[in-house]
Amino acid sequence: MQKSKLINNATLTAITVFSTAFIYFCINYSHTFLHNAKYLLYNLFYNRISYILIDNKIVIFLVEMSWLFTLYMMVRKYARAKLFFAATVITFNLIYIIWRIKYTIPTTSKIGMTIGIILISSELLGFFQSTIYSILFYKPYKLKEMKMDDLSKLPTIDVMIMTYNEPSYVLRKTIAGCLNIEYPDNLLNIYICDDGHREEIRKLAEFFGIHYVTRENNNFAKAGNINNALSNYCRGELFSVLDADMIPKPDYLKKMVGYFKESNVGFVQSPQVFYNPDPFQYNLNLDDRIPNEQDFFMREVQAGRARYNALFHVGTNALFSRKAIDSIGGIPTGSITEDMATGMLLQVKGYKSIFVNKVLAVGLSANIDLY
């Protein structure tokens, strides 16, 4: 049964990759590619096979398909072939863009030229994005594991649970997870930062024996909530931010803290992972038979960006250097995406961002039926 399942998965993967590549080439080279395909079908039905084999357009089409399939097989077998594949895709795209600019923009009328320029501009944007993705994924992200034991002295750490109006039963799970984190009790403080000013949550914090933090106003939303805790309560050398529903695993800190052996590390990010189906998985009734929608970004794109110190902070599941955050004036309040802005400012300041591609905390995917 297991062998059969593996074969089915491999077959499905091959079909998916090949079909996606085929459609991609059709879209990008529609002027020649689709014409050649049509020409091949015409000759298959109305002309002799010998004519097909010597016709230049048919040969070009067959070479394109053979080359695509060969590259696919090479990438499956040899990891280094990804670079060659990426270079080939970029080259073909560049040839197509040059052809589009030089030969296809209409010049007979101003309206036609304007529309043509707008269209080619959108294709240039797609070419740029495709090139970036090719560069990100041609080489796997490798990270040398740094263990907690590698540190000569363990730092003090504050773990902040950010909340506004999440139900108490959601927070209860997160708090329980934080209390089970494997780290010396005398070096770890847990705070629940409540912008909802709820008596129920204050009592919940008291019940679990953790710190309850609130403020008089909700200025600057989550960024203001974090800054309030940092300015008035937290004194740790490192601090971690968790969303209200993100339940940390026992090794949450052990897997990240070791990287702060290097003084220029600004933050360590782990992926945002969910333990319940996302809307697509849930509504299609497929659950874990298809990947979570965010897995590609959280596990693959983030790893690619980390190679260039361009990792995004995603608002949760991260461990920060307090010194680094203080150097940029705290969490930035001028953007509604304060998480991304924080990571970028640290990187501009010269700090390294580390991506630990392991499931260290799990949370609730957006699904109103489960809240």
Q: Which domains does the chain have, with CATH numbers?
A: 2-137 (no CATH), 148-370 (3.90.550.10)
Over residues 191-247, the pLDDT tens digits come to 999 999 999 999 999 999 999 999 999 999 999 999 999 999 999 999 999 999 999
Tokens 């197509």 found at: 96
Torsion of CA 148, 249, 208, 267, to 10 degrees: 50
Predicted local distance difference test score (pLDDT) of residue 45: 53
Over residues 101-136, the pLDDT tens digits come to 988 898 889 998 999 999 999 999 989 988 888 888
Please give the positions annotated as active site.
195, 339
The share of the chain scoring above pLDDT 90, in percent, equals 56
Position 17, amino acid: V
Q: Which residues, 6+ apart, have CB-to-CB distance to 112 below 8 Å?
A: 106
CA angle 50, 56, 59 (to 5 degrees): 75
How is residue 166 written in tokens? 């999440």
Could you give the CA distance from residue 330 to residue 339 in angstroms, rounded to a whole number? 12
Question: Rounded to two decimals, what is the model's pTM?
Answer: 0.76
Q: Are 269 and 188 in contact (CB under 8 A)?
A: no
